[in-house]
Amino acid sequence: MKTKNRLEGIADLLLEIASILMVSGANTNRVNVNIDRFASVLDCESYSLISQKTIILTVIDNETKENYTKVKNLPGHKIDFTIISSISKASWKAIEEDWTLSQIKQEINTVIEQKRYSNYIVLIAVSFSGAGFCKIFGGDYLNLALAFISTFAGLFMLQSAHKRHFNSYISVFLASLTASLLASIGVYFNLGTQPDATLATSVLFLVPGVALINSFTDFIDKNVLNGMVRFANGLMTVLAIALGLFVAMLIFQLK
């Protein structure tokens, strides 16, 4: 019974770690590698079946060969590379210092509770990146200002839609439409030297780079099912972006 309770605690912890990594944007192989490291520190082996919605994990005690299997549903995905990096570093540190179960739990709680950038800082930083892309494509300062405003408004719409638990694709469509409508004003009135650059770069913050890259790496690592799901999610996001851009251009009769 003692071993069973210990295995249950280990399974709960490893599932929590796997869940955090998945929703933060880690590829499937990275999730498996990290939970295997933590399992090895606890003198166990772990076997997992990971999907975009659910994780099934089996933990086997190396000494008694008893096993315990548990299932966990994943919450909504929210990209956070800082968490992925912190957990990866913690897994190596756990091996080096031979951490106990309680030490690993404490470290994971610390990672979860670490401060994040506020939504306003994210809004401003991403808006500056949108303006920077516009500059790369030859826009002048007027185009940069409009790209900044368009990106800011689009991302604000995306954040607001997520807070209200809208469907993710509808959220992307609304964000794309908002950013495109503002950027289309510059094209319609021919503001600046490169108004087209403003329109083209106003929706770049929505491009699903993480989903598409993880799809590619999952295919390479032979995690075909997750690769297909992530590719489909990325493709649907791209279509939502294109639809928002199309509607804005249709409203302003842009060619």
- What is the per-residue pLDDT across 217-231, written as a single tens digit (0 to 9) for each? 999 999 999 999 999
Q: Looking at the structure, tell me whether residues 208 and 157 fall in a common domain.
A: yes
Task: Identify whether residues 230 and 164 lie together within a single domain.
Answer: yes
Q: What is the pLDDT at residue 2?
A: 44
DSSP state of 204: G
pLDDT, averaged across the chain = 94
Give the position of tokens 């800011």: 152
Same domain, 97 and 180: no
Q: Among 89, 113, 137, which residue terminates a domain?
A: 113
Kindly state whether residues 239 and 199 are assigned to the same domain. yes
State which residues form the domain around 204: 119-252
> What is the number of structural domains in the chain?
2
CA distances from 208 to 14, 107, 132, 231 (A): 28, 30, 19, 10
Percent of the chain with pLDDT over 90: 89
Per DSSP bridges, beta strands 44-50 and 67-73 are: unpaired
Per-residue pLDDT band for 1 (boundaries 50, 70, 90) equals very low
Query: Which of 81, 113, 145 marks a domain boundary?
Result: 113
Radius of gyration of the chain from its Cα atoms, rounded to whole angstroms: 22
Q: What is the pLDDT of residue 5?
A: 85
Residues 235 and 133 in one domain: yes
Quick one: pLDDT band at residue 114, thresholds 50, 70, 90? confident
- Indicate whether 97 and 162 sit together in one domain: no
Given 88, 113, 138, the domain boundary residue is 113
Q: Are residues 81 and 39 in the same domain?
A: yes
| Alpha helices (H) along 98-194 | 101-113, 119-136, 141-163, 168-188
Average of pLDDT values for 28-47? 95
